[in-house]
Structure 1
Amino acid sequence: MATIVWFKDISKRDIGFAGGKAANLGELLRANLPVPNGFVVTANTYDKFLDEAGIRDQVNNLLKNLNVEDTDKLNSASKTIKSVIINSEISSQIAKEIATAYDKLSSGTIRIAGASFESGEFVAVRSSATAEDLPDASFAGQQRTLLNVKGKSELLNAVKECWASLYEPRAIFYRTQKGFEHEKVSMSVVVQKMVDSYKSGVLFTIDPTTNDLNKIAIEAAWGLGEAVVSGEITPDYYVIDKRTGKLVLKKISEKPFMYTRDLEKGRTKKVNLSQEIAKKQVLTDDELFMLAKFGKRIEDHYAWPQDIEWGIEDGQIFILQTRPVTTIKSVESQMPATLVMKRAATQAAEDIEEILETETGIPNIEVATVEAEHEDIESILEKEVATPEVSETLPEFEETILEIEKAEESPKEETLPAGAIVKGFGASPGKSAGRVKIISNLEELSKIQKGDI
């Protein structure tokens, strides 16, 4: 197996060597969606690195019979394994192949707000585990992502950090709980052109808190997406009804800071925002329409609700990654035995049924094909996307939006309740009660006892 594989050469069926994240990026690129170009350092390369560095047995022995319920022992094993990997040398052959691919990806000089930087592209380096982003398991956020990496030396170090992050405490714990054997899970690394987003966020093609299949939920903030996915700020929140194409809910939050690229150092930095910008709505009408359109296209392509990360640079939307929504299984009882959907004439119903049964674990799915009685979501959104602000709409949408504003009620607006610190999509929808304990990092996890929150 090759050390390097480009996005254009992989699809969602290549998780075994590309990992879940990379396989999905290749799939999206093949579907003509706006994905930044990049390549994958394959999982086989990680395995080769372990053998060439002579550290495989050391890693496996540290994990053998590890009691993941013992937080101190879990943290200790994780720290030792990560140190072993980061302090090991990548062989000259592997390093050369990664460097050659990086040269090919780079455009020589990169323009950032009028400034030029020589020698290499700014890239995002993301982990892509072979047990990641599967329909029945979500490993989101468990491994490393490094932004604004530049230069071959930095890139090689970033690759090792991604490899090492396969052994973060919560990743070890989660794999154990899910029954994945550590020695059979490998790690590929995505190296992708960096999108210097001035707007970014996440999009769910289902309401992630209620599992409402008829809603598209979008969160948005200024700058890079790090502040949104880490939960550091409360982003703007929009809900679009798939059946009508209407914007039915809008929550505009105060977003006091953003992450962006340092123009002098090329690193990611935190920038405080003025009150005017912090309270301003992030997305325009046209951006909402395009994001919803992309979300629907991706959901239709996978035939399953998706969790999508996106960014906007110089007015262009980029899809940064997608993964299946795994909490959908919790409402299987609410799902119809027969799914009614519109399909392409060339796509057989039995093919869709097989894909859905494989990816969801729900047996005996039947797909009934019906003629569409209404316009598809793309047409509806283009004509009827509602907005409380019409100052930043495309000319061809302007007349339609103004007509709707006269005929329809404005979308419901909500503000944060007094005393709320941060708000966003629930990581684990539901209700619970117990003593609240606050920890500053995972090394303090042992303070949490049974019944604590």
Structure 2
Amino acid sequence: MTVCPTAVPFGSLAADLHPNVGGKCASLGTMSQAGLPVPPGFAVTTQVFVDAKDASGSREQIAEVVDAELDRLAVVTQDALERVAARAREVVMTWEIPQEHVTVIRGMYADLCELSGVDDVPVAVRSSSTAEDSPDASFAGEHDTYLWVCGIDEVLDKIRRCWASLYTARAIMYRHERGYDHTRVDMAVAVQKMVRPRAAGVAFTLDPTNGDRSGICIDAAWGFGESVVSGDVTPDNFLVDKVMWTINRRTISPKTHAHQLTEIDGAPHPVVSRVPVPEDQVHVPSLTDEEILAIARLARAAEKHYGCPQDIEWAVDDDLPAGEDAVLLQARPETVWSKRHHAVGAKTDALASIVDTLLNPLYAKRGSQPA
């Protein structure tokens, strides 16, 4: 008998299950229930991961492959790390999802197809580790995401591949450097209806160049946001004032490539591929001013809900009407500037104090400073 459900829709994901669904799924559930525009989906809990690992009998084998192997190395080279990571992933990919969990996941996916009105609805299958997106660490980009996954068999396969991404070289080294125990980190998985983005990217509810909380900084590019998150494209950049809602900075970058849906001969459905951007779009802003402000307001709403600066992923969905097409795909605490306290004795003035109170009313009421 399992200690928690196999899977839970984002819209009914209770707070007491957050430890079992990882940072990404917990955030999607919280945003959905707060009324923010989040594409529907469900969380596959860590119970499925744990049961599959236990049934495989390979728990000790993972510890031997990762911890013992790293401990034996006098120097952790990239080649040695890649070998350790590849061996660990091979072990995880031998795990089978227990049949009772498969039955529930099939039902959840069928419900999502019915809700969307599409057979084999395309979904994003996203890793959601129990250590990621916490206030003291961000594993953004350390684990795998699979886009435009169609059909339950593909969904089940990608769930296992998300589990295996706990043991990529970068994820292993991230945990190793920060002292996380490799054997005590579990993986949940988010299965979320895909958007068809005209543009996508990230936004910070502060200026990441200097920590100034008076602005919302937006990075944007054509197509799927993976090009921005991975650093494959230099994105357009916009800075929006949180009080006046003016666009105070705009930098339009040449965007020569994008991650777009591509038809493949003989393939049953499109795949997301890196493709050249048409010449007439390379130097064109990827967002209109109305879209910039809509994304900024969504980011600010997420920040108000969570009560701390946020790092969000967003998209402009071509399948939704104009004015309603900006959606949130993820929100996590900002982990660099938000942990830095204001310098003691820093020069202040009346205007700065007023703006700080406007932007941080909760802290003003409590008589304390934001972290």
- Shared fold, TM over 0.5: yes
Q: Which amino acid aligns with 1:178?
A: R
Question: Could you list the per-position Cα deviations for residues 22-49 of structure 1 after superposition, in whole angstroms to 9, with x for gaps in the alignment?
Answer: 0011111111000000001101110111
Q: Which amino acid aligns with 1:266?
A: P
Partner of residue 48, structure 2: 45
Query: Which among 16, 33, 41 is matched to residue 19 of structure 2?
Result: 16
Give me the TM-score of the superposition, normalised by structure 2.
0.86
Paired positions, count: 346
> For residues 82 and 215 of structure 2, what CA distance do their matches in structure 1 show?
40
Contact 1:108–1:120 (Cα < 8 Å) also in 2? no
Partner of residue 420, structure 1: none
Q: Which amino acid aligns with 1:216?
A: I
Q: Once the 2 structures are TM-superposed, how far is the Cα of residue 99 of structure 1 from its aligned partner?
A: 1.3
Larger Rg: 1 or 2? Answer: 1
1:196-207 to structure 2, matched below 5 A, reads 196-207=196-207
> For residues 190 and 7 of structure 2, what CA distance do their matches in structure 1 show?
10
Partner of residue 329, structure 2: 320
Partner of residue 113, structure 1: none
1:124-203 to structure 2, matched below 5 A, reads 124-203=124-203
Query: Which among 103, 114, 120 is matched to residue 107 of structure 1?
Result: 114
Partner of residue 411, structure 1: none
Name the % identity. Answer: 36
* 2:288 is the counterpart of 1:284: yes
Partner of residue 217, structure 1: 217
Contact 1:132–1:140 (Cα < 8 Å) also in 2? yes
> For residues 13 and 298 of structure 1, what CA distance do their matches in structure 2 show?
21
Partner of residue 234, structure 2: 234
Give me the TM-score of the superposition, normalised by structure 1.
0.71
Q: Which amino acid aligns with 2:24?
A: K
Q: Which amino acid aligns with 1:38?
A: G
Contact 2:67–2:182 (Cα < 8 Å) also in 1? no
Q: Which amino acid aligns with 1:213?
A: R
> For residues 96 and 169 of structure 1, what CA distance do their matches in structure 2 show?
32
Question: Could you list the per-position Cα deviations for residues 258-292 of structure 1 after superposition, in whole angstroms to 9, with x for gaps in the alignment?
Answer: 21223463211233222211111111121111111
Q: Which amino acid aligns with 2:132?
A: E
Q: Once the 2 structures are TM-superposed, how far is the Cα of residue 342 of structure 1 from its aligned partner?
A: 7.0
> For residues 297 and 279 of structure 1, what CA distance do their matches in structure 2 show?
30
Extract unaligned runs of 5+ from structure 2.
347-352
Return 3-12 or 97-106, whichever deviates more: 3-12
Contact 2:255–2:282 (Cα < 8 Å) also in 1? yes
Contact 2:66–2:88 (Cα < 8 Å) also in 1? no
Query: Which among 4, 27, 31 is matched to residue 7 of structure 2?
Result: 4
Contact 1:308–1:321 (Cα < 8 Å) also in 2? yes
Q: Which amino acid aligns with 1:308?
A: I
CA 1:216–1:341 in structure 2 vs 1: closer, same or farther (change >3 Å)? Answer: same
CA 1:241–1:98 in structure 2 vs 1: closer, same or farther (change >3 Å)? Answer: same
Contact 1:21–1:133 (Cα < 8 Å) also in 2? yes
Q: Once the 2 structures are TM-superposed, how far is the Cα of residue 13 of structure 1 from its aligned partner?
A: 6.0
Partner of residue 334, structure 1: 343
Q: Once the 2 structures are TM-superposed, how far is the Cα of residue 200 of structure 1 from its aligned partner?
A: 0.6
Question: Could you list the per-position Cα deviations for residues 292-333 of structure 1 after superposition, in whole angstroms to 9, with x for gaps in the alignment?
Answer: 111111111111111110011133111000111100256324
* 2:82 is the counterpart of 1:80: no
Extract unaligned runs of 5+ from structure 1.
111-117, 354-364, 369-453
Contact 2:309–2:338 (Cα < 8 Å) also in 1? no
1:351-366 to structure 2, matched below 5 A, reads 366=368
> For residues 293 and 342 of structure 2, what CA distance do their matches in structure 1 show?
32
> For residues 300 and 162 of structure 2, what CA distance do their matches in structure 1 show?
31
Q: Which amino acid aligns with 2:46?
A: A
Q: Once the 2 structures are TM-superposed, how far is the Cα of residue 124 of structure 1 from its aligned partner?
A: 0.1
Contact 2:219–2:238 (Cα < 8 Å) also in 1? yes
Partner of residue 298, structure 1: 302
Partner of residue 349, structure 2: none
Q: Which amino acid aligns with 2:93?
A: I
Partner of residue 60, structure 2: 57
> For residues 132 and 296 of structure 1, what CA distance do their matches in structure 2 show?
22
> For residues 116 and 358 of structure 2, what CA distance do their matches in structure 1 show?
47
Q: Once the 2 structures are TM-superposed, how far is the Cα of residue 182 of structure 1 from its aligned partner?
A: 1.7
CA 1:153–1:15 in structure 2 vs 1: closer, same or farther (change >3 Å)? Answer: same
How well do the aligned residues superpose, as a CA RMSD in angstroms? Answer: 2.5
